Structure 1
Amino acid sequence: MANTSGMTRLGMFRAYWLGAVVCIGGFLFGYDSGIIGGVLTMKSFERDFGYTSKQATHVSSLAVSLQQLGAFVACFAIWPVTHRFGRKWAIAVCAFIFCIGAAIETAQTHSTTAFYIGRVIAGLGLGGSSVVVPMFSSEMTPKQIRGQIGSFYQLMYTLGIFTSYWLDWGVAKDLAKTDSRMWQIPVGLQILWAAMLGLGMFTLKESTRWLTSVGRHNEAWESLKWIRADDGPATQAEMDEIRAGVEMEAHAREGFRLTEMLQGDNTRRTLTAAAVFMAQQATGATAFAYYGPQYFKLLVGNKGNSDLLLTAIFGAIKVGACSLFVLFVADHVGRRKILAGGALFMAACQISTAAVVKTHPAPGDGTVTSSGIATIALIYMFVIAYNFSWGPLPWPYVSEIFPTRTREPGIAIGVASQWLFNFVFSLTTPYMIKNIKWGTFLLWGVFDVCIAAFAWFVLTETQGRSLEEITKLDSGGSGKPFSDEDTFSERAGKRSDS
């Protein structure tokens, strides 16, 4: 439990309110990730958009992956917006853009092209918010509960997936297969979640750190007083600390060029950030989130809506596992150990699943067999391991490995990598399921073995260390200097001595 001493009750409420509002962006991300797989299996969707079952793999691949492509572009496009107009309005704009895309998706256009365009537009809003939301949250929440509120994003993501899976199952169970509302209700509800995010921003103040960085000091003070619900000496001291920190960071970034990200030891940090998020996607968990019903059809066959029900249970397990991790594990186990161990456990689950599906394929009549139950259990254990390791940890890990001078572009590159490989695997997974079947699980398992080796032998341990200490560590975690160059504080000391 976080130490909340010195915080007012109203200040705590406002901090949690801010975290809950901005992390609707995480809920939106999860809801969209979960909703599309079920929608693409609905006969009314196939009929309304005029494609045949033979074209279903192609449509599924594009419908999911094009949104990730839009999100990848938005990771870079959002930076000038948030730097010029602030965090609050950048998030509101992202929510508005997403609403436009979701409205196009929901409309009865009978055109897959229009649906694809809607997916790309929604992706722009989704990708932009995925960059700004964690930034805004970390800049405004008190240090005593920053880690807890920062974890809201991943928790809300799993809640979004959970909601979408059960909604897909519910409409498929209660509505006729030919009823267009079966797909329009879950798709259209995206507009509601995005509108809640956008309108919720009007209840918040702008980031104190951003206001300070652009010289709007009176507004910055009002913002800090509001979020802390206090204007006493402690809050005044925090304001002074923020001003000093912003000034130091401005000096640290003075003369920065993007090419520095690929110079000296920055090259290793940049490649590590990109590799961590590539590994997150290569576990196979995100692909399973998108295509859960298709995977469960492969495991147990197709009988009624059993694929959607099993996917909904899968979503409930994700929420439970992520909640346990956030509450009891996150700050108590080393990053490197849990990432390596989680990947090995996932590899065992995926390879075992491949072996069972290869030797005991699902019967075509939808009969549930003991082998089918075994594979379901293996996949559920796989998702528990993912939500105890590679689900939540890459986000804080990447934000920790960069020094002040390169932290913002470094995080942007890492998040962009997440969306890029999200695009790659969401584009290829339908073809993998269709063509190599049980080999899909084997491939994810082999990837997981490689990921475990990467985590153990390449990543630096950051748990329990300050950002300054992490900057000086090498990629093996031995404690040797991360860079031969002086740190900013050391250079500043030399200048003052001279």
Structure 2
Amino acid sequence: MASSGGFLFGYDSGLMGAIITFASLQEDFRYGKGVATKTNSLVVGIQQAGAFVGCWAISLIAARYGRRQAIMVCSAVPLTHGLPAFYVGRVVSGLGLGGSSVIISVFSSENAPKEIRGRLGSFYQLMYTFGIFTAYWVDYAVAKLMVPVTHCPAALLGIGMLTVTESVRWLVQQGRHEEAWESLTWIRADDSEETRAELKEIQVSIAEEQAARSGFQYRELLERDNFKRLSIGVIVFLCQQSVGATALAYYGPQFFKILVGAGPSNLLLTAIFGAVKIVACGTFVLFFAERIGRKSALIGGGVFMSICMIIITIVTKVRPPPGGGVVTSSGIATVALIYANIMAYNFSWGPLPWPIVSEIFPARIKVGVATGVGSQWLWNFMYSFSVSYMMAAMNEYIFLFFGVADIFVVLFTIFVLKETRGLSLEEVQDIYSSDPATTKRFSGASVPGSEVETASIDKAGEKAEPV
């Protein structure tokens, strides 16, 4: 339910990518073809600017009122009309999307058992692809209309969060141990000794984290290991945006126009593109997320995507589409390569950056997660705003640009990232630390002069002996 915020993000992204090609948009908002590139860039990109602000602002609400309330706040989306109001609405909806992307990741990781943390962390990306899939087919169905189809997913997220309980870890942080016990037994559907032991472990962990964060100052982020983690979190999402999949999601019909020429089939090809995305991402999340190494998946995905993009550039340059709706073998080949490319993305750089960034930061600098996710929206804005201009200037060479970017992404993965599949959060900190003693201090494993005490909860929900 929480990850339906990813559906909202994908639905909006897919919807706008096609709507900006509709003649009805130009007619309703009264702008000419001479400013179409500028308008398209603003319509798509300005929302990401709002999301960049929102992912930081929402932390204040989440800390005080809880993860559940914060997600509900993020689901608010305005109804607007007229081009200036439309821009404002895009920014405001971006605030909600950006905030939800941070809080949903935190909410999921705080409630997930470590055995399936990677799978649940990837559900946001799965719901994102499902949102794009739905939007593409809505676009195909209403190509001649301009209808208010953007608000139902936001309402689903806001109302749906009423059906779930608050984050167990946040409740423990607030000292609300009985509510934490009730929430944990609800989400685990179990009140056995194993669940009580899990609550005790969470209580001890929270006490250690609070001790670890005591006296934290932001300048600590510039310390060697902290700055390294911060840089990795930022660059991982730069890599995710640089492989070209987000650009394809936003500007699908325009990309297919480069491959097969202008024609009504572009919306259909984009809709099929969305179906391929969801099948690939769903297959990965449900069957492969916890079975293959994350680093191996990122390297393999990057290499495969690079090969696809480079071949597309060559074929499109040698055999350009004839136009007029004529389908050629080279056009079919390039479309197939685009579909293969997006399958590789959804087995690698689509779902994996989210759990990777959420787990590399120790408790003392957990603010780094917001920094990493916030940078995702910055890079998203950069590409969503510039791709329209890039396509106008580069034409088929835009595929070569993404193919070369894939090579740099692979090199970054080989030389910088570590394998973290199946490791506990403490073990992840060890492999990213140059000083094991520093790792222990950051994780709260050893706090000199202190004795961690926390109340456990018995089966009836009452306080028992301290741990």
Superposition TM-score, scaled by structure 2 size: 0.92
Question: How far apart are residue 365 of structure 1 and its match?
Answer: 1.8
- Quick one: distance in 2 between partners of 1:458 and 1:122? 35
Of residues 315-324 and 419-428 in structure 1, the stretch that sits farther from structure 2 once superposed is 315-324
Q: 1:448 to 1:486 in 2, by over 3 A?
A: closer
Q: CA-atom RMSD, angstroms? A: 1.9
For residue 68 of structure 1, what is the amino acid of its counterpart?
Answer: Q
Match of 1:32 in 2: 12
Question: How far apart are residue 148 of structure 1 and its match?
Answer: 3.6
- Answer yes or no: is the 8 Å Cα contact 2:212–2:444 preserved in 1: no
Name which of 401, 416, 421 aligns with 1:443: 401
Deviation per residue, 1:126-155 (Å, 9 max, x gap): 111111112112223445554443332221
- Quick one: distance in 2 between partners of 1:386 and 1:50? 37
Q: 1:496 to 1:464 in 2, by over 3 A?
A: same
Deviation per residue, 1:227-252 (Å, 9 max, x gap): 33444433332222221111111011
Residue 40 (structure 2) pairs with residue 60 (structure 1): yes
Deviation per residue, 1:309-360 (Å, 9 max, x gap): 0001111110111112113322222222221121111111111111111222
Match of 2:461 in 1: none
Residue 377 (structure 2) pairs with residue 419 (structure 1): yes
Residue 422 (structure 2) pairs with residue 464 (structure 1): yes
Deviation per residue, 1:180-219 (Å, 9 max, x gap): xx232xxx22211111110111122222211110122232
- Quick one: distance in 2 between partners of 1:464 and 1:69? 35
Question: How far apart are residue 460 of structure 1 and its match?
Answer: 1.5
Match of 1:404 in 2: 363
- Quick one: distance in 2 between partners of 1:95 and 1:145? 26
Question: How far apart are residue 293 of structure 1 and its match?
Answer: 0.4
- Answer yes or no: is the 8 Å Cα contact 2:211–2:447 preserved in 1: no
- Answer yes or no: is the 8 Å Cα contact 1:473–1:482 preserved in 2: no
Question: How far apart are residue 168 of structure 1 and its match?
Answer: 0.6
The alignment partner of 1:37 has SS state of: helix
- Quick one: distance in 1 between partners of 2:71 and 2:342? 30
- Quick one: distance in 1 between partners of 2:69 and 2:142? 35
The alignment partner of 1:367 has SS state of: coil
Q: Which has the higher contact order (CA 8 A, sep 6+)?
A: 2
Name which of 430, 440, 452 aligns with 1:487: 440
Question: How far apart are residue 374 of structure 1 and its match?
Answer: 1.2
Residue ranges of structure 1 left out of the alignment (5+ in a row): 1-20, 475-479
- Quick one: distance in 1 between partners of 2:409 and 2:123? 26
- Quick one: distance in 2 between partners of 1:142 and 1:416? 25
Name which of 167, 176, 179 aligns with 1:216: 176
Residue 98 (structure 2) pairs with residue 127 (structure 1): yes
Q: 1:49 to 1:493 in 2, by over 3 A?
A: closer
Q: 1:63 to 1:263 in 2, by over 3 A?
A: same
Residue 95 (structure 2) pairs with residue 136 (structure 1): no
- Answer yes or no: is the 8 Å Cα contact 2:13–2:249 preserved in 1: yes
Residue 279 (structure 2) pairs with residue 279 (structure 1): no
- Answer yes or no: is the 8 Å Cα contact 2:363–2:444 preserved in 1: no
For residue 452 of structure 1, what is the amino acid of its counterpart?
Answer: V
- Quick one: distance in 1 between partners of 2:193 and 2:332? 61
- Answer yes or no: is the 8 Å Cα contact 2:121–2:354 preserved in 1: no
- Answer yes or no: is the 8 Å Cα contact 1:472–1:483 preserved in 2: yes
For residue 446 of structure 2, what is the amino acid of its counterpart?
Answer: A
Match of 1:15 in 2: none
- Answer yes or no: is the 8 Å Cα contact 1:265–1:483 preserved in 2: no
Residue 224 (structure 2) pairs with residue 255 (structure 1): no
Residue 234 (structure 2) pairs with residue 234 (structure 1): no
Match of 1:85 in 2: 65
For residue 426 of structure 2, what is the amino acid of its counterpart?
Answer: E
1:155-174 to 2 correspondence within 5 Å? 155-172=126-143
- Quick one: distance in 2 between partners of 1:320 and 1:230? 32
The alignment partner of 1:485 has SS state of: helix
Superposition TM-score, scaled by structure 1 size: 0.87
Match of 1:73 in 2: 53
